Homo-oligomer: A and B are copies of this chain.
């Protein structure tokens, strides 16, 4: 990777530049399908979401996967918009579930309007995504996206019960992470290959790439919550701890906890009775058991798996960009 160029342009920006014509078409499709003839509340809420931006990482994954398999359109646009709609619908529902007040540095829709609007506009976007994918006329793509949707919803429900349960282990965490993040990443890359009619081993490689990248992405997110700086992440250190979320660093520390430490985690996470100094003590315990170091190692291992998967795909400039993109994910923690 060219270090100078890397300094000037980040991997996701390079991808956006390469795919700019496609992304323009996708953005137009998103704007068109986010509208509603009848219900004025829908464009109000969706405009708020579109204006908030976001990196559009998931639709870019679909476009890149389709293009590197030689696809010339037009249904990669529909699928990219589908993936973004599912993502946005999930965010709207997540903000209701988490009772969030902020996302991407702006007040959330549930705060600006109400929970009702977030629930129903989320449903609307989900049904619009469904229309978009049906238009491709490709049953295998529909099957992949239906299964991804079920994994996402199941993961979200699992998180409800697992988040504050000290019995949650790394296997359950992985299940939650697949639902929260990796299922949509892997569906995004897989459908790109499928719509392009790529060989089975290439489709499988694209799936694996999305899956591992998604897992790494979420692990890095959870790690940054304990060691990031607020300016870079937009989150305060320890938000997950205060919200009693059992993420990978804490799961690792609990696995090595002695009797007294277990009692600490039980009180702070399971019972939610937190006192001054608890976050500092939690950080000490994470350090004592190398929990952050081991979490970072896991993220890097998944990134390596994502790279190996992509190496199974035929050479193409977009393949290299997708490989570089994995470095960008870990760069956030280096």
Contact = CB atoms under 8 A, between A and B. Distances in A.
Interface in A291-320: none
Interface residues of A, number: 41
Nearest to A175: B38
A135 B131 CA distance: 17
B36 A124 contact: no
Nearest to A117: B160
A153 B123 contact: yes
Interface stretch (A39-47, A55-63, A190-198, A253-261): A39-47
Given A38-B158, A41-B160, A116-B160, A124 B153 contact: yes
Interface stretch (A7-15, A100-108, A142-150, A321-329): A142-150
Contact of A120 (B93, B128, B175): B93
Contacts of A157: 36, 39, 41-42, 117, 120-121, 124
Given A139-B137, A157-B36, A147 B131 contact: yes
A93 B123 CA distance: 9
A121 to B, nearest CB: 6
A334 interface: no
A119 B219 CA distance: 25
A121 B155 CA distance: 11
Interface of A: 36, 38-42, 93, 96-97, 115-117, 119-121, 123-124, 126-128, 130-131, 134, 137, 139, 142-143, 146-147, 149-150, 152-158, 160-161, 175
Given A93-B119, A97-B116, A142-B142, 15 more contacts: A38-B155, A38-B158, A39-B157, A39-B160, A39-B161, A41-B160, A42-B157, A97-B115, A115-B115, A120-B157, A123-B126, A123-B153, A127-B152, A131-B146, A137-B139
Leading 3 A-B pairs by shortest Cβ distance: A127-B149, A124-B153, A39-B158
